[in-house]
Amino acid sequence: MGSTGASAERDTRVGRASVHWHREGSGPPVVFLHGFPLSGHTWEAVVSHLRDRFTCYTPDLIGLGESHSTAGDDHASPGQARALHGVLSELGIESYALVGNDTGGWVARELALLDAPRVSHLVLTNTEIPGHRPPWIPMYQALAHVPGFGAVVRQLLTSRTFRRSPLGFGNCFHDLTQLDGRFHQRFVEPLIASPERMKGAMTFLRHMRFARLDEFRRLHRQLTMPTLFIWGTDDPTFPEARAREMMGQFPKVAAFHSIRNAKLFLYEEHPQEVAGFIGRFLPWGATRRRSSGGDPGSSP
């Protein structure tokens, strides 16, 4: 479960997929999975609070960021999990904790099913819920099959009004100023500038199948690792009340933490609070903090 302690950023080939990943920190491994249409960079602020105790891996999901594949099935949730399983095996990681947000939380559950012996802990933040359909996404999935729709989205994203609307990223942040600056540069500008990036995002949308998600009503009980929920209370995409109902499907829930003034991308707005909950949940982090003279009960 140890790590090299060195930062790295590379691509790993798994079958027809190339998975881009970043590693930072020292200690037991934690794998962070992002949502749509972001990349692993979205976890940087959380990682900055945890890298002194954990080796943090932030891969890009296939079709997003710099990960890609010529196989359509690699973009579906089971295919994403298979590719990540291959990457983590290639890296020689024997045991790890999983953290997922949005569709990254869906993929995290697929990976936890596939790689249960190695997944020690699971953390879910504002993510898909079986039987629930988030606003706008089914419409976007249907339109993703229409030729030229990606170009239309690229043009729409140049509009600040659209980006701040519920059809854009308006439901992702409590404070809409978060959409400017770093977030825009990291995640929106590449989609506008690169037809290939947008093509990957459209392929991703087409292959994330809600019929598969609904199977997790029964599959959740197979996830027997300790599971932590961290939820933004104001999220209209995945409402907290529905998440609390879903929590009952998991056999070993450690806690459900609510964060106020937060929506879908709660970890972008409240990285220290999210990192604090994760650090206290994972027993290795508490041990390392005690050995260095810190207080395991305090936030990073």
| pLDDT computed for residue 5 by the predictor | 64
Token readout for 20 is 């881009």
**Residue found by looking up tokens 């409240």 in the block:** 270
Name the average pLDDT for the chain: 94
Would you say 201 and 36 are in contact if contact means Cβ atoms under 8 Å apart?
A: yes
Q: State pTM to two decimals.
A: 0.93
| Strand segments (E) across 155-283 | 227-232, 253-259
Nearest to 2 by CA among 50, 55, 58: 55
Please, what are the domains in the chain? 8-135+211-291 (3.40.50.1820)
Phi-psi region of 203 (alpha: psi -120 to 50; beta: other; left: phi over 0): alpha
Compute the distance between CA of residue 151 and CA of residue 109 in angstroms, rounded to an integer. Answer: 32
pLDDT at 6: 75
In this prediction, what percent of the chain has a pLDDT beyond 90? 92
Gap between the Cα atoms of 76 and 83, Å rounded: 11
Tell me whether strands 29-33 and 253-259 are parallel, antiparallel or unpaired: unpaired
Q: What is the pLDDT of residue 285?
A: 60
pLDDT tens column, 189-246: 999 999 999 999 999 999 999 999 999 999 999 999 999 999 999 999 999 999 999 9
